[in-house]
Amino acid sequence: MTRIKHLISTLAAAGLAAGMVSAAQAAEKWDMPMAYSATNFHSATGAEFAKCITTGTGGEIEVVTHPSGSLFKGGDIKRAIQTGQAPIGERLLSGHQNENAVFGMDSIPFLATSFEDAAKLWKAAKPTMEKILADQNLVLLYSVPWPPQGLYFKKEVNAVADMKGIKFRSYNNATARLAELTGMLPVTIEAAEISQAFATGVAEAMISSGSTGYDRKVWESLTHFYEVDAWLPRNYIMVNKDVWGGVSDANKNVIKGCAELAEYAGSWRAVEYTQFTLNGLKAGGMTVGPAGDSLVDELKKIGETMTAEWLEAAGADGKAITDAYKAMK
């Protein structure tokens, strides 16, 4: 609580300073595209972050969130911010792994399988991530993890052989590769389209958090959720570097303070939301529980293959991140 009170005091002081800026200065409106539904905890955290900035800057910067891919689809958000079509936005970090393998550091199977380890991995990767984003005309503001990833199916699955031929929703390189290595058929589907994809049979399975399944009521189409805790992917908020350069020092302090609050609150929500959403899947009629030992063993062997591939693709940066992470354990 002391940390939160300190941040609030800092924001209040920065907000007062911002409010003393000449009233003649025109207010800016920042549209903030987000890929997930308004009810998702990431979107809720983003909405509070936006309100914090609007209030803290005395209305000089008004941030308006656009959830559910309503302004830009998830896959288009980063490019929109890089090119100035939107000043700020949220995206799944590993969604850019095709640009640079380092973006997939949070999707290495079974490397960091708890919130504590995921936080350590992020601490190890953050400096490299900030540099990569800066080179792409972006400034990192904050990042929040998803709950651990589990497997969703519309039938009982006890072995990798049971997955063969299943149409599998992928959301990044790692999920597409997982599908290939298990004999499933990867189909790229944005979060906003999940419910329709399962309802129409475009997809029949996925790996995701309990949160995503709960938000999209996947029990209407799927029957089983297996807890495998494969990894904890992250969302992050970025701002256009040129736009950031034009922000006053007082307002930068406000935004940084709001970002720190949002990361703290969002990370706390991720932990609290985990069991809540698993209970929600059960209430919807799904069978929810840990995957069998033999299936986990098979998945871990596949994970070893994916880890080796990632380390080769990520090169020196990837090795430095994993080495720094392992040194913290």
Same domain membership, residue 72 and residue 190: no
Same domain membership, residue 164 and residue 123: no
Which stretches of the chain score pLDDT less than 70?
A: 1-26
Which residue range(s) make up the domain with 52?
2-100+112-146+234-274
Same domain membership, residue 128 and residue 85: yes
pLDDT at 14: 46
Residue 199 lies in a domain: yes
Residue 107 lies in a domain: no
Residue 105 lies in a domain: no
What's this model's pTM, rounded to 2 decimal places? 0.90
Same domain membership, residue 238 and residue 219: no
Domain of residue 133, CATH code: 3.40.190.170
Q: Answer yes or no: are the C-beta atoms of 92 and 59 closer than 8 Å.
A: no
Residue 106 lies in a domain: no
- Other beta carbons within 10 angstroms of residue 316's beta carbon come to 8
Helix (H) or strand (E) holding 7: helix 2-19
Same domain membership, residue 31 and residue 94: yes
pLDDT at 289: 97
Same domain membership, residue 58 and residue 192: no
Same domain membership, residue 17 and residue 116: yes
Same domain membership, residue 287 and residue 198: yes
pLDDT at 27: 86
pLDDT at 214: 95
Same domain membership, residue 60 and residue 38: yes
Question: How many domains is the chain partitioned into structurally?
Answer: 2
Helix (H) or strand (E) holding 186: strand 185-188
Residue 130 lies in a domain: yes
